Amino acid sequence: MRTQVCIIGGGPSGLLLGQLLHSIGVDAVVLERQTQEYVLSRIRAGVLEVGFQNLMRQAGVGARMDREGHVHNGTLITYNDERVRIDFSTLTGTSVMVYGQTEVTRDLYAARAEIGAKTFHSVENVEIHDVEGDAPYVTFDQDGVTHRVECDFVAGCDGFHGVSRQRIPKDKRKEFEREYPFGWLGVLSRTPPADEELIYANSSRGFALCSMRNAELSRYYIQCPMTDRIEDWSDDAFWDELRRRIPSETAEQMVTGPSIEKSIAPLRSFVCEPMQWGRLFLCGDAAHIVPPTGAKGLNTAASDIHYLFEAMRAHYLDHDASAMDQYGPRALARVWKTQRFSWWMTTLLHHFPEQSDFDHHIQAAEIAHLRDNVEAQRVLAKNYVGLPY
């Protein structure tokens, strides 16, 4: 078969790119390793920067997000019982939207089905060929049949464990990584959120996050050792520990209930350079990973898609042959800014095993600095709502 862009990966990155390309009449095929049901079963963060919201609207997929998403004009940073509110709207003139990544992906799949675009699920043995030349192609197996996709470009949107990044010769790519000495134990519960806004809590016992999906569905996390297993944590043990890490007034009022999902995720910072190799372009988790503290995973995937879409639009509509060469450097410039912010938020709010009492005092002083300094709050707010593309 022949298409203009072969997109490997049917997660948010791949689907959003496919929808944007369709909006300018460029054909794309999506190859996804899992079933659609499996992709939609993933529980992922859903704090959307304005840039992401606008891309969804530009792709014609923003209606339900605008209808059901929750605008958040601020967030709370707490240190034991001390509360510092970061007022996004006053400090930046804008806000974020809370709308689950699962819902984003659901909307993108529905839109793709509506346009009748080709999406192959449960594919195996995806291989990327001849991206160094001007006639790349991708082969894959589905139900025992091998298929070949001739294309102009390959978009590697297949996440951290995909094949695209590996297609860049090992001696030609440089990988930058930091692993954090703890994980996040996450719980989803059918209970009302602990507060109207998210609470990022540092405490003498470690980090906690109170988030939500909607008025009836809450998402909580506590920092835990990577050696912990889910079976080590009963629901009661989780709620008790969470309550000890957030302000006591919130802890006393919050509603707890049975967990409907419980998982432990590692935290890592990771960047692959370059983000393009010939006619192969890496987007999203295929190229970079951030610790979730700054809610930048999905939002950095979005800025990659913005840059790649703009380059492809210039290539196909303006016949600008140089546009595609700009993708990698442009995307990486913003990737490193979100890497910095995610690392900074993680360092500010978590306990590190090797930390001394001096380090703990520095963290407390950093949060006091935020409390007392509106310009420090503005810097945090500008990064959180999303730096310009």
**What does 219 interact with, of ligand PHB, ligand APR, none (CB < 5 to 8 A by kind)?**
ligand PHB
Asked if residue 51 binds ligand APR (CB under 6 A), the reply is no
Annotation marks residue 72 as catalytic: yes
Residue appearing with tokens 């707490």? 78
**φ, ψ for residue 4, nearest 5 deg:** -90, -45
Answer whether 277's CB lies under 8 Å from 172's CB.
yes
Q: Which of 49, 158, 197, 366 binds ligand APR (CB under 6 A)?
A: 158
Answer whether 54's CB lies under 8 Å from 20's CB.
no
Name residues contacting ligand APR, limited to 248-307 (CB under 6 A). 284-285, 297-298, 301
**What does 9 interact with, of ligand PHB, ligand APR, none (CB < 5 to 8 A by kind)?**
ligand APR
- What's the closest the beta carbon of residue 358 comes to ligand PHB, in angstroms? 27
Annotation marks residue 38 as catalytic: no
Neighbours of 138 (CB within 10 A): 26
Q: 112: exposed, middle or buried (C-beta count within 10 Å: 0-12, 13-18, 19+)?
A: buried
Q: Which of 136, 292, 328, 386 binds ligand PHB (CB under 6 A)?
A: 292
- Beta strand extents in the chain (DSSP E only): 5-8, 28-31, 47-48, 70-72, 74-79, 82-87, 96-98, 119-120, 124-129, 137-142, 145-150, 153-156, 174-189, 199-202, 208-214, 217-224, 259-273, 276-277, 280-282, 288-289
Gap between the Cα atoms of 162 and 178, Å rounded? 20
Asked if residue 97 binds ligand PHB (CB under 6 A), the reply is no
**What does 154 interact with, of ligand APR, ligand PHB, none (CB < 5 to 8 A by kind)?**
none
Annotation marks residue 170 as catalytic: no
Asked if residue 168 binds ligand PHB (CB under 6 A), the reply is no
Annotation marks residue 384 as catalytic: yes
**What does 69 interact with, of ligand APR, ligand PHB, none (CB < 5 to 8 A by kind)?**
none
Q: Which of 92, 293, 300, 339 binds ligand PHB (CB under 6 A)?
A: 293
Name residues contacting ligand PHB, limited to 179-238 (CB under 6 A). 198, 209, 211, 219
Nearer to ligand PHB, 136 or 284 (CB): 284
Nearer to ligand APR, 342 or 377 (CB): 342
Annotation marks residue 389 as catalytic: no
Three-state secondary structure call for residue 349: helix
Compute and round to an integer the Cα radius of gyration of the chain.
21
